[in-house]
Structures are given as structure tokens and as C-alpha cells.
Structure 1
Amino acid sequence: MERERVLVPEAELERQREFEERIRAMFAARQAHPLACVDTFGCQQNVADGQKLMGMLESCGFTLTADPKEADVVILNTCAVREHAEDRVFGNLGALTHTKKENPEQIIALCGCMAQEQRVSERIKKSYPHVNLVFGPHALWKFPELLWQVYESRRRVFSVQDEHGTIAEGLPVVREKGVKAWVSIMYGCNNFCSYCIVPYVRGRERSRDPQAVLSEVRELVEAGYRDITLLGQNVNSYGNDLGSGYDFADLLSEIDRIPGDYWIRFMSSHPKDATRKLFDTMARCSHVAKQLHLPFQSGSDRVLREMNRRYTREQYLELIAYARSLMPELVVTSDVIIGFPGETEAEAMETVSLVEEVGFDALFTFLYSPRPGTKAAELPDPFPRAEKQKWFDKLLEVQNAKSAALHAAYVGKTVQVLVDGESGDGEFPLSSRTEGNRLVRLKGGKELIGKFIHVRITGSNTWALYGEAVQR
């Protein structure tokens, strides 16, 4: 894909800023003070997209609110990966009929991955007439123009054209207050795993220019962010489209040279593109957290082939062994799917055995959920959900026992953490994370938030550690 076609020209971005000014002037003429609500579902990439939407809304003159009842514009920023998330979105859309009835001038928008699916946009057209605007990830950068079209025409606007996708640099961003920030280094996906809808709704892989990424990370560090996560559907293939030989490990090395006190994390990482160079770089870099989220999805080679994952169980185990040989303290987490179409109980137990063999610190576990439009959704699936649930429960039993044991081994140790906020726990009021991203609830005052401190671990359970600050 030609880079000229990927990058949105500055003239087009300036045009969007003109639409922002038109909307701002419209409300100023009315002496109105509009409010906007952005409700984001799904992954960190969606969170990053939501922050850009909030930035553009502020540029249009809106003040942000968390209450859709009082908002003049409500945006549902959606995820298409899981059926449960989709059901929640449609439930929320239905509930917004009441806010629209109370405020007929309210603009309701649906965006994100769900919006890019043709079946969803058609359903919105037919069954949700109160929704004014529908646009997919490809059209996010021109949101001001789309919103202006709604106001000017008083008609419904749909922008869900199928395209490879673009990169728009310099969009305004409203980031969460605190110490954590997300930086998208690439967009789209070329993998076409048979169960996944993402390549169909986010387009082909396209990498941001390294200097743009470095500049953004540098600004974040200087602004006081201490825990920065690099985002991509497959960060390990970063740079493949740049044509320069510059890869993800090179980007990590350059980021690591930015001065400051911070951790760099990344996700998601695909095993087929994870290289020894990447792990060598992680081990060498002082700012790159010794944490690896490497989804394996299944422990069965046959199921992996059906999933189109393009690696084997043995290759995955070799990657983990090499990474741990360089970084014995490495915290390893993963994603896993149980109940893929045609998967047998024996194959599901191969997944459980891989979990036992690797000894993951934590897992994100999913019962297979068919996504219309994917190849897996067309496969025969003879085993009932109740049977798959038994396999799933066995997986959870094994992993929860391992997580509890790993956490228990921390009791009595002193670890460094970044205090990132309040926990809501009266006895342990602060929330923090270790370099390996383990949750530590701890005793102490709010003045510790945003600081790297040392904590003595006094207790644990399956999901968290507990401790108290110590002088070091």
C-alpha cells in the first residue's frame, strides 16, 4: 500500500478544523454551552480512539460529561470482537430512546468496529431511527465534518465505506488524568484469524512514522505519564509497510533512549511475528517493562491451523523459553479460546496442558463466540455450549490455582510499584502496578499517587497483591 494513500493530507485535516470552528460558531450564536458524552466499549485501541473523539468534541466547543441524559451529543464507541459487548451496545442504544424523547435535539452517534459491519449499519437504519450518525474506524478523523452534516441537513448520516484505512496525525486528544497513557503505533490487521472480525472492520496494517510515535511518547513522558502502552492489533509486524527495514524492536530501542522515569508496555503481540531480536531488545532496555502478553489461543496444533494462527504449540513454547532465559523475572500473560468450532474435549485439554506447562501469571479466557462474517462462523460446531463450559471451567480451575500460587510467593517480598490511583478498598485505599503489571492494593495516602515506590507484600489472592509502602 502506498504511503501517500495512507497518510491523510494536512489540507484535509485543516478542512476538519474548519468544520470544528463552524460547529463552535453555531453554538456561540445560540449562546449555548453544549455537552457531549463518549461511551467506549472494548479494547485499549477503542479507548485511544475515544480520546481522539473527545478531543475533537472539545475543539467543536463541547464540554464533556459522563451522563447521556444531559448530553447534546452521545457517542457509543463500539467493539465487534465479542457478542456480549455487541448486546450491551444495542441495549444502550435502546435506552437512549428515552433521552432522545426528553431532548429531541439530542444527536446520537454509533461508531467503532460494530459500526463498520454492514449488518449492523443496516440494522441501525431499520430498527433504530433515533440514531443520527453512524461511522466506522476509517472515518473517525473526519468526525467534525460528519457531525456538521447532521446539524446542517437534519438527516441521518452513515459513513461506513469499506476501505484499506488511513493514518491521520495531529488529531486533538483528551487523555485520562493520571499516570497511564496509550499510544497507537499502527492500525489495522493482515492476519485474518478465522474467528476474528477485526481485519474486516479496521482495514489493512499501516504503521505510523517512527518519528511521530517518538514525539508523542516524549511529550507524554514530559507531561508526567509514567505507564505508557504502545498499541496495535499486532505490534510485532510494525514497520512491515514502511519499506525501510525498521521494525518494532528498533522502535522500542529508540523509545528507551527518551530520558525520564517511566515504563513502556505493548499489546497485542502475535507469536508468528515475535522474534528473538524483540526479546533481546526487551531484556536490554531499562524502560521496557518485563511483561509479555503473547496470545496463544489454543494448545492444539490442529485447532491452531483452523484458527489460521500460523505457528505451532512447539514454536510457542520455544518463544516463551527463550524470553524467560533472558528475563527470568518476566511476567507472561495470554489470551485463550475454548470451544472453537469442531474442537474436541481432548483438544481443549491440550490447551489446559499448555497452560500447566507454561505457568502463565494470568489469562484472559473466552468461550468461543461466533462473529458473523468470519470463516469460523461457517464451520460445523457439534459440541453444545454446556459441554464446552465444562472444559472452560477446568481451564479456569488450573489457571486460578497457578495465579494464586504465584501471588502467594510474593508475600514477604519488597517490590517496586507505580501508584496509579485509588482502589475503593477502605483498608487498602491505593491501587498500584508492578513492572510486570500485577495489581497491588496498598495502604498509604493520596500523595503517593503518580510515584514509583517500594512496597512490602503482606497478603495475596488469585487476582491481586496487598502491601504497605516502605522506605528504601
Structure 2
Amino acid sequence: MKRINSVAVSHEEATRQKAIIKRLKHRLEEKQLTYYITTFGCQMNAHDSEMIKGILEDIGYREASQELEADFVIYNTCAVRENAEQRVYGRIGHLKSIKRKKPDMMIALCGCMMQQPTVIQELKKKHKHIDLVFGTHNLYKLAELLETRLDSGSTVYDIWEAHKEIVEDLPSIRKHKFKASVNIMYGCNNFCTYCIVPYVRGRERSRHPEDILKEVRDLVVDGVVEIVLLGQNVNSYGTGLDMPMTFAELIQEVEKIDGLRRIRFMTPHPKDLSDDLIEVMADSQKICHHVHLPIQSGSSRLLKAMNRHYTKESYLDLVKRIKARIPEVAITTDIIIGFPTETEADNDDTIDVIHQVEYNTAYTFIYSKRTGTPAANMEDQVPEAIVKERFNKILEAMDIVSLKNSEKHVGNTYELLVEEVNHKKADWVSGRLKDNHLVHIQGDESLIGTFVNVKITGSKTYYLVGEII
């Protein structure tokens, strides 16, 4: 009964929002308005921006080629690192002078950064030229908030402390015709001591499997051949469902969908990546043999301080089990350098893990103190100069193992999904192998969205060069 009510509420709210979109379309259609959105942060934010685009384009907005030409400027913000926040403040400060010349320009801020009370206080005090401010829980209300702003003429703040419902079937504009991301859950319950995500994204909430599967089927009908299943911790999928289902079980159902060629997922947590999931991956013809497995630190002492719930030894054992069942697997990771109390020995432990696992790539981050997290109050914050030295040592170790992984591909033939025109050479295109390796080949834009067989002819540290055969 609870499930039926949940769907009814979701459907009712989606219907109400679509009615508001229709009203705004009629109201604004003669103005030929444009929008420009800048996305900071993770794939979850990028996916949220696709919904923002979908709503705006259903209203009648069209995407501008440059921010300063747009009638509506939106920043979808990130709160994970301080530098991302400072970039947002810098840009909205710049827009203040632009808006004096273009008073009808609308400016909206949304995303994780907006879920922090200190940010809202700062905006209300110093940035009164902002028109709309909303957070991570009420993205689907964009049209309603825009209508309220137009009717009232005043800045609209709509920040929810918690998520109330998952609203399905709202418009979305994908970056690529042939691949798409699908949220399977929202929020996080892990409370790593350095991370603000549980505070700004809320607690874990799983989408119902039938809604996920319907979305994937609809995307495949629309031409999508590769799906990325998204969650802060996909291993926790099933939280809150009336009928229990694990992530391994969900991904098996996704695999059954005809026409879907590739399945990826982001991000599993090492503490609870199950043997069942490893077996499903090993037996699958569609799940890409790539696992993004954040280590954060190779020091068991620091991992405990980070509240990660695994040790260096248990992490390496997990990697061993994955590689035993999927020998060709590519493993990527996240690493934090300079966590409070980190020593040179801790950094050496991380370098040791890099060499043992032989990661394909690593996203390396200097620790960023986030107000409201336990780590922000820890003593023995590491001096910046020392952190930079350790950061460089991590990069040197990664360059060695990444090049080694790239070189293993030379002379072999693989299936490549071509994704885009090369950024540096107009007569070349780029794409990804199943193991997520980036490959550049000679070709034109007619290849985008297609699968081609390529022979790898050259390797660099973080990409491969190939030729179509």
C-alpha cells in the first residue's frame, strides 16, 4: 500500500509541474529566451543539469553559446571542495556588474553548495542580485520557482533540509544521444569524516526498480546504447524499498533489456562491494569491466579516522578477488592527500597500494576542510607545502602504473564506442573501450555514437592511439 501511495504522490507532483511548464511556455514564448548552465562537481550534478535543461527547453528556452549572452544563467554547484565554492562566488560576483547592464537577466544557484546554511546567509547578505536559489532535494520544482520569481519580482529561496519524494518522468536533455546516466538512488549514509555529501544530499533513498527499468528501456528506444547507473554508493541500493533488491540483482535486470550494449556504474564503496556483484560482472556480456573503487588512503590508521570501514589489507583482498574473476578489469580510484594527521609513512602506504593495484587512473585531491564535517575540527592539519610534496609523489607513482597499463593494450584489438570529435585534431575522434580507456583514432563526426573495432598502435600515460580495422 505504501508503494502505491508513493507512486501516486510522485505522479501527481509530476503532473502539477508539467502544468506549470505549459503555463510558462505560453507566457514566455514570444520572448525567445536563452539559458546557460555551468555544472560544478560530480556525475550526479551533471545528471541533475540534464533535468534542468529539459525543464527549461520545455518552457521554451534555448541554450546560449556563451554565458554573457544568456537571459537565464544557472550555476549547479558543488560543496565537496573549497575551491569549487570560491569559483562560484567569483562568478556570481562578476555577474553583478553584468546584471546592472542587463536587468532582465535571471540568475539561479542550485546544487550541493546551496544546502549549507552559511552559504545561504552569505548570499542573502552580499549577493542580492540572485533571482533563484534552491538545493538538491527540489530540483524538479524549477518551473514552479521560476514562475514564483516572475510573479513576485523578488528573490526566491527554496531550500529543503530533507528529501520528500522522488518525482519521476520530468523532461531531461542529454549531452549525448547514444549514452545516458540513470540515478538509481539518492543520498548517502556513510558519513566519511571529510565528506559533506550526506549533509547536502540527504540520507539514502532508492528508486523503485520498475521506475529505473522503465527509464532505461525508454532511453534505449531513444537510441541509447550505454547506461551509467549512478548513486553515491550503489552497493547500498535497496535502502527503503518495500520489496528488497540488491544492486547485483538490479543490474542483472538491467542487462536483460534488449538493445542495451554497455552498462557502467558509479560509485561502489569498498566496504560492501559484494561477491555477488563480482560474479554478476564476471558472467556479464554488457557490464563494462571497469570498477571505480575509491581508496582515499592506503593507511589503515587514516582510513579509520576517515570512517571508511575497511583497512588497507581488506581493500587489497577485495581487489584480489575482483581480479581473480575478471582478469582484464580496469580499476580506477580516488585519493585524498593531506588528511589531518597524515604522515610520510601514511603517504608511503598509499603509494604502496598504487603499485600493488596498478590503477588505470586516479582522481587525486588535496584535502579540503569542509565546515560541518568531523575532520574540519581535527588537530594536526597538514601544512600546505608538505601536502604538495606528497601530492607530487602520488602523481609520480600513478604515472608509472598508468603508463604500464596503457602499454599492455598495444597490438590488441578492441571494440570502441566513439563519443566525440577530438579536442585537438579536427580529423580525429575519441572514445572509450569497455575498460574505460580513452582512445583517439582518425575519423570524422559521422562515427560518433557508433561502435568500431580498433587496433591499438600507440600508448601514452592516460590515453591510447588506435586505427580502425
Smaller-chain TM-score bracket? over 0.9
**1:376 maps to what in 2?**
375
Q: 1 CA distance for matches of 2:28 and 2:222?
A: 32
Does 1:121 pair with 2:126? no
Q: 2 CA distance for matches of 1:3 and 1:379?
A: 46
**2:290 maps to what in 1?**
291
User: Alpha-carbon deviations, 1:267-296, whole Å to 9, x = none?
Assistant: 011011200001001111111101100111
Cα-Cα RMSD:
1.8
**1:409 maps to what in 2?**
408
**1:215 Cα deviation from its structure 2 partner:** 1.2
> Structure 2 vs 1, CA of residues 8 and 88 (structure 1 numbering), >3 Å: closer, same or farther?
farther
**2:179 maps to what in 1?**
180
After superposing the two structures, state which structure 1 stretch, 134-143 or 214-223, moved more: 214-223
**2:34 maps to what in 1?**
35
Tell me which stretches of 4 or more aligned residues in structure 1 moved more than 6 Å. Answer: none
Q: 2 CA distance for matches of 1:428 and 1:105?
A: 41
- 8 Å CA contact 2:10–2:168 kept in 1: the answer is no
User: Alpha-carbon deviations, 1:427-456, whole Å to 9, x = none?
Assistant: 861101100010000112333222211111
- 8 Å CA contact 2:224–2:260 kept in 1: the answer is no
- 8 Å CA contact 1:428–1:441 kept in 2: the answer is no
Q: 2 CA distance for matches of 1:126 and 1:284?
A: 56
Does 1:322 pair with 2:343? no
After superposing the two structures, state which structure 1 stretch, 274-283 or 453-462, moved more: 453-462
User: Alpha-carbon deviations, 1:68-90, whole Å to 9, x = none?
Assistant: 22222111111111112111111
**1:200 maps to what in 2?**
199
**1:218 Cα deviation from its structure 2 partner:** 1.4
**1:83 maps to what in 2?**
82
**For 2:167, what is the secondary structure of its paired residue?**
coil
**For 2:137, what is the secondary structure of its paired residue?**
helix
**1:340 maps to what in 2?**
339
- 8 Å CA contact 1:46–1:77 kept in 2: the answer is yes
Matched-pair identity in %:
44
Unpaired runs of 5+ residues, structure 1, are none
Query: What is the letter of the counterpart of residue 128 of structure 1?
Result: H
Query: What is the letter of the counterpart of residue 249 of structure 1?
Result: A
Which TM-score applies when normalising by structure 1?
0.95
**1:332 Cα deviation from its structure 2 partner:** 0.5
- 8 Å CA contact 2:339–2:381 kept in 1: the answer is no
Matches within 5 A, 1:217-256: 217-256=216-255
> Structure 2 vs 1, CA of residues 402 and 255 (structure 1 numbering), >3 Å: closer, same or farther?
same
Q: 2 CA distance for matches of 1:124 and 1:211?
A: 40
- 8 Å CA contact 1:427–1:443 kept in 2: the answer is no
Q: 2 CA distance for matches of 1:230 and 1:7?
A: 25
**For 2:175, what is the secondary structure of its paired residue?**
coil
Query: What is the letter of the counterpart of residue 407 of structure 2?
Result: A
- 8 Å CA contact 1:19–1:144 kept in 2: the answer is yes
**1:36 Cα deviation from its structure 2 partner:** 1.6
Matches within 5 A, 1:146-157: 146-157=145-156
Query: What is the letter of the counterpart of residue 370 of structure 2?
Result: R
**1:424 maps to what in 2?**
423
Which TM-score applies when normalising by structure 2?
0.96
Query: What is the letter of the counterpart of residue 14 of structure 2?
Result: L
After superposing the two structures, state which structure 1 stretch, 292-301 or 68-77, moved more: 68-77
Query: What is the letter of the counterpart of residue 21 of structure 1?
Result: K
- 8 Å CA contact 2:10–2:165 kept in 1: the answer is no
Q: 2 CA distance for matches of 1:247 and 1:368?
A: 33
**1:469 maps to what in 2?**
468
**2:434 maps to what in 1?**
435
**1:186 Cα deviation from its structure 2 partner:** 0.6
